[in-house]
Amino acid sequence: MTLDAGSISSPAVTSPPEQGPAPGCFTRGVVVVKLGGAAGIEFDAFAADVADLVRSGVRLVIVHGGSDQTTRLAERLGHPPVFLTSPSGHTSRRTDRETLGIFQMACRGIVNQRLVEHLRRLGVNAVGLSGIDGGLWIGRRKDCLRAVEAGVTRIIRDDYSGTVEHVDTRVLEALMAGGFVPVVSPPALSTDGDPINTDADRAAGATAGALGASALLLLSNVPGVLERYPEESSLIRVASRGEFDRLGRVAQGRMKNKVLAASSAVIAGVRRAVIGDARLDQPVSRALRGEGTVLE
């Protein structure tokens, strides 16, 4: 089940996992889990696993993005998405004022509310918020973007995007102290007070670092970082600090952000980051057990 509009069914009755996370598998502190939105992700399995883990006492902060939903909503609203390619080949969404509004509707109005609603039906005391709420995610809005079009570099100055540079964890701590499970979506807030489109993987990594989380789990539609993408048997199972740069070179496209998020979190003190598979049952428990690409 994916997060397409209207695609969330009533949750199936779930039984407790046969095998919980093994002892000593980093479940004592907070665990930050970022759920991707790519095709093939098993949303029902994710929610059921979260419910079981929360019942067994694991403290979770859930983060998600909304890129695919933004694209679909933008098309439906007659403001089709535009993607920019930087001179270094990096692709990003052009976020003008109207796209920003659509991005907020998609992330907060669609994905976040559905996740919260679904988790609550499974008995999880979930609360939805965006990076704006409580000044959680603060970043600098990019002054200008350079975009290459037909061999010509164009400068764009009115884009609403940026990277999270500061995480104020107080709102998360208050929610967790009250027994809630925070579910966080972009946007972030710029230092000038504007909402900004921000990468949810990187924001999850920054959040894990700021919380001093015991683990960061980035779940997507691949088993982890593949040495020879898309050959799944070429999964890189573990990378230590000296190998982070090489891992970043192996990763292409949007996987680069996940490697950057995971490696920055480990460098910031998170004990372990796992890039894992959200297409399987118990995707969170599996990643907690170290299934995927483990950075430590």
3-class SS at 261? Answer: helix
3-class SS at 110? Answer: helix
CB of 249 to ligand ADP, least distance (A): 10
By beta-carbon proximity to ligand ADP, the closer residue of 93 and 175 is 93
CB of 21 to ligand ADP, least distance (A): 22
Contact 111, 64 (CB under 8 A): yes
CB of 35 to ligand ADP, least distance (A): 8
By beta-carbon proximity to ligand ADP, the closer residue of 167 and 259 is 259
Residue among 195, 89, 179 at smallest CA distance from 138: 195
What's the CA gap between 256 and 244, in Å, rounded?
Answer: 11
By beta-carbon proximity to ligand ADP, the closer residue of 229 and 244 is 229
List the 126-130 sheet strands across, edge first. Answer: 126-130, 181-185, 59-64, 30-35, 215-220, 272-277, 293-295, 238-239
What CA–CA distances, in Å, run from 294 to 163, 205, 247?
24, 14, 11
CB of 158 to ligand ADP, least distance (A): 25
By beta-carbon proximity to ligand ADP, the closer residue of 195 and 276 is 276
Which residues make up the interface to ligand ADP (CB under 6 A)? 36-38, 220-222, 225-226, 229, 250-255
CB of 219 to ligand ADP, least distance (A): 7
By beta-carbon proximity to ligand ADP, the closer residue of 140 and 254 is 254
CB of 221 to ligand ADP, least distance (A): 5
The residue nearest ligand ADP at its CB is: 36
By beta-carbon proximity to ligand ADP, the closer residue of 211 and 261 is 261
Task: Report the number of secondary-structure helices (H) and strands (E) in the chain.
Answer: 9, 16
What's the CA gap between 296 and 273, in Å, rounded?
Answer: 7
Sign of CA dihedral 232, 234, 239, 244: negative
